[in-house]
Chain A
Amino acid sequence: MSLRIVVCVKYVPDATGDRHFAEDLTVDRDDVDGLLSELDEYAVEQALQIADEADDAEITVLTVGPEDAKDALRKALSMGAHKAVHVEDDDLHGTDVMGTSLVLAKAVEHVGYDLVVCGMASTDGGMGVLPALLAERLGVPQVSLLSQVAVEDGKVTGRRDGDAATEQLEAALPAVVSVTDQSGEARYPSFKGIMAAKKKPVESLDLSDLGIEADEVGLDGAWTKVDSAAERPARTAGTIVKDEGEGGKQLAEFLAGQKFV
């Protein structure tokens, strides 16, 4: 029986660009180029490796995001995923994490799945909670923040490097996993992969296809509200000295002046 893998990927503003908020205090997506969240490349990579080990597996990449988010799907398809699902709807603008997890859960169910693979966190919101929410909504085990993952005999196993300990985890499929950037470098798409991606199917869904009401998502449906966003004042220029043999002592003097010594 085929192993159905769904990989959640997010389209985010490039972190090396100058990111801003728009007037309605949502992320300004016109200002900076978007891309597939780098941390989701690790999720795609692990899905590809799991699929390689399975007799027969199909990988669907899934995103919730605006028109441009197709770029993220294309990148994942060019890495080797088989098909893509794009949930886009004007009413999604300003959705918070509760709404996003609702849409992703419905979309995952729509696609059909044995395993959902996510990144550890997006590089914009960076909450790192979506995989847990998805597991809660789907009613399946969460096996999150894995630096190593494998699927065998209807079970997913993995290693979680926590603050206090390293844990070896195990759960029966279906399950939701998330993988960290310690799980292994993501492959670059090959030229062949890029060409092949152009022919792979991308299914577009809107809220009504998923049976979600407009007021469950978007700015109005959000359970949280951003009241203000202020750019942090640039740090005032500090003192910079060139070491001419006394740099360490000068620094010690500074630290003593600040009462650190």
Chain B
Amino acid sequence: MAEVLVYVDHVDGAVRKPTLELLTLARRIGEPVAVHLGAGAEEAAKVLGEHGAVKVLTADAAEFADYLVVPKVDALQAAYEAVNPAAVLVPSSAEGKEIAARLALRIGGGLITDAVDLEAGDEGPVATQSVFAASYSTKSRVTKGTPVITVKPNSAAPEAAPAAGTVEQLSVTFGELATGTKVVSRTPRESTGRPELTEAAIVVSGGRGVNGAENFPLIEALADSLGGAVGASRAAVDAGWYPHTNQVGQTGKSVSPQLYIAAGISGAIQHRAGMQTSKTIVAINKDEEAPIFELVDYGVVGDLFEVVPQLTDEIKARKG
């Protein structure tokens, strides 16, 4: 069976969920071979093997952390040359897309970004993309070279599929460009203890209607009662009420949870671009004309300062 390279997104060997989703999708088109760069390959290999990776290619070098993007491209290219895969799958993070693009150019393969589904086809993998703020769904494929495809989080459910997950060292030679962009310093983001926004099954977002940073704990409390992540509209972010890393939308995170709750958000096209593929959409807004209500499965026309705390209390009560 043809092999499919899967680029592993991880934190010191803790594999992030989107990678496990990729392994599920990869098995539809071949045998997954995972590429793990940096520390923690042994730890990662266990989880990767449980989800279907027949092999884990690994390399660790200071370059991966000290310079931007290119060292990882060099390594992925080495893996590509070692395996000669039928396709390369990469998680659709900002960095993932850049790595995928440069690899595609080097190996002369077409690139598809932000796929939300992937199937085997007669002429190679067929990717579904959700475009124009999710108003269209397209099916595309690569017609030249090995397909390189980036896939959005929450595009498939991770499935257990025990495989060997044997770890093999990958030998990487860094090119001249690898050390072009130096990472002078890095400040890791503090963990909030909440699920990762893009991976969360439930997201609760607040907008301009939340009316101040001091009121965001209302949104956080609702999110916590549901075990969800917190998002924000750009209006709330620009006002300084919540960090930019939590922005949902065209220039923020794109989320696709099982449940999306928008409180005090009007539903501008740029916001919709980041949440319209959510399975169930709920809105709380005092303006019954707000465009967000065109999208909802359930909407409450009302003051969020009344509705949200009541909802949170009710959820807590029901959960006992």
Contacts and interface: CB of A to CB of B under 8 A. Distances in A.
B230 to A, nearest CB: 15
Nearest to A220: B143
* Chain A residues touching B, range: 35 or more
Contact of B245 (A16, A163, A171, A230): A163
Given A165-B187, A169-B182, A224 B141 contact: yes
B54 to A, nearest CB: 28
Contact of A243 (B202, B226, B302): B302
B169 interface: no
Interface stretch (B19-27, B36-44, B207-215, B312-320): B312-320
* Chain B residues touching A, range: 35 or more
B95 interface: yes
Given A133-B105, A247-B310, A248-B314, A15 B133 contact: yes
Interface in B220-270: 226, 244-245, 250-251, 258-259, 269-270
A248 B308 contact: yes
Interface stretch (A49-57, A66-74, A81-89, A124-132): A124-132
Contacts of A141: 68, 177, 180-181
Interface in A6-52: 15-16, 19, 21, 25, 39
A22 B177 CA distance: 40
Most B-side CB within 10 Å, residue of A101, A141, A222, A254? A141
A125 to B, nearest CB: 8
B284 interface: yes
A1 interface: no
Given A136-B106, A229-B136, A238 B296 contact: yes
A245 B300 CA distance: 11
A82 B113 CA distance: 34
Contacts of A166: 186-187, 189
A225 B259 contact: no
Given A98-B110, A142-B68, A238-B296, A168 B184 contact: yes
Contacts of B269: 15-16
Contacts of B187: 165-167
B170 interface: no
B84 interface: no
A143 interface: yes
A21 B136 contact: yes
B98 A248 contact: no
Given A129-B111, A132-B98, A243-B303, A170 B137 contact: no
Contact of A224 (B142, B259, B306): B142
B296 to A, nearest CB: 4
Most B-side CB within 10 Å, residue of A160, A163, A225, A235? A163
B282 interface: yes
Nearest to B121: A227
A164 B136 contact: no
Contacts of B134: 232
B143 A225 contact: yes
Contacts of B11: 164
B293 A240 contact: yes
B76 interface: no
Given A140-B180, A141-B177, A164-B11, A230 B298 contact: no
A19 B259 contact: no
A161 interface: yes
B140 A224 contact: yes
B162 interface: no
B203 to A, nearest CB: 12
A228 interface: yes
B206 to A, nearest CB: 15
B82 interface: no
A251 B245 CA distance: 28
B126 A227 contact: yes
A252 interface: yes
B303 to A, nearest CB: 7
B315 A255 contact: yes
B86 interface: no
Interface of A: 15-16, 19, 21, 25, 39, 96-98, 101, 120-121, 123-124, 126-129, 132-133, 135-137, 139-145, 147, 157, 160-172, 175, 180-182, 222-232, 235, 238-243, 245-252, 254-256, 258, 260-261
Given A161-B244, A242-B301, 13 more contacts: A98-B110, A126-B250, A137-B105, A165-B187, A172-B180, A224-B140, A228-B138, A230-B137, A238-B293, A248-B310, A249-B310, A252-B311, A258-B259
Interface of B: 11, 68-70, 93-95, 97-98, 100-102, 104-106, 108-114, 126, 130-145, 177, 180-189, 198, 202, 226, 244-245, 250-251, 258-259, 269-270, 273, 280-282, 284, 288, 293-303, 306-315, 318-319
A-B CB proximity, top 7 nearest: A243-B302, A248-B310, A223-B110, A141-B180, A129-B101, A252-B314, A248-B311
23 contacts: A128-B97, A132-B69, A141-B180, A141-B181, A163-B189, A167-B68, A222-B143, A223-B110, A223-B142, A223-B145, A225-B142, A228-B138, A230-B137, A232-B135, A238-B293, A238-B295, A240-B288, A242-B302, A245-B306, A248-B306, A248-B309, A255-B259, A255-B282
